[in-house]
Amino acid sequence: MRKGKNLKEMLVRLRDLTDLMVELGYAAILQDDRELAQEAQRLRDEIREVAYNMRVLTIFAAKGLPRKDVEQLSSLLQIGVAVKEISDGIDDMVEIVSRGVHPIVQAAYRRDFIMKVMDVEEECPVDGKSLEKARIPEETGFFIRAIRRGDDWIFYPNSKTVLKKRGQDFPQGKGCCNKEDTILCQKNGEKEKVRLLRKF
């Protein structure tokens, strides 16, 4: 996992990780999707690590500073604690999904948007293409919310971001686009489904 080099980078990373974790957690419940729940848990672990490193760096930075500056730095410690409390709530969301989401819960919320996981496989037509050239929004109605490559993340990728094999993308789009599986890959003359949209 790419770690922030300073407190500012750590704060930005915590914000991005937390935003995506909450989105995945809610999507996991509304879509009754265990795969999304597992991804939310993985983000939770990353958040806890970054929050811990930020607290340690804050303590070191406070050494030798006047009381006024130390009090200002203490707010960073409070942010770290607050973020950890948010990440702890994901455990409750995952438990709901593991038990099975009750239809009443799903009926209580509008599903204007859904999220899925897309694996970019070898020989997939989108492999090596920028998001602009892959035309995923035009072809599927989805846009790529985030991309994971190994242990690192690209949050809010832009049109120049290149899709690469063995990467994992998190498409987000309107529920009206989930009528059938979308075929993005063709291998050895046979169509190969990429986990982007699924039948409901």
Q: Where in the chain is the domain with CATH 3.30.70.1450?
A: 111-193
Distance CA 183, CA 97 (A): 27
CATH 1.20.58.220 boundaries in the chain: 7-106
Among the listed residues 57, 60, 196, the one whose alpha carbon sits nearest the alpha carbon of residue 136: 196
Please give the Cα distance from 43 to 23 (Å, whole number). Answer: 11
- Average pLDDT value for the chain: 75
Which CATH superfamily hosts domain 111-193? Regulator of K+ conductance, C-terminal domain (3.30.70.1450)
Which tens digits make up the pLDDT trace of 100-156?
Answer: 877 777 676 656 567 878 777 777 778 888 888 888 888 777 788 888 887 788 888
Q: Does domain 7-106 have CATH number 3.40.1280.10?
A: no
β pairing state of 142-149 and 168-174: antiparallel
Q: What is the reported pTM?
A: 0.76
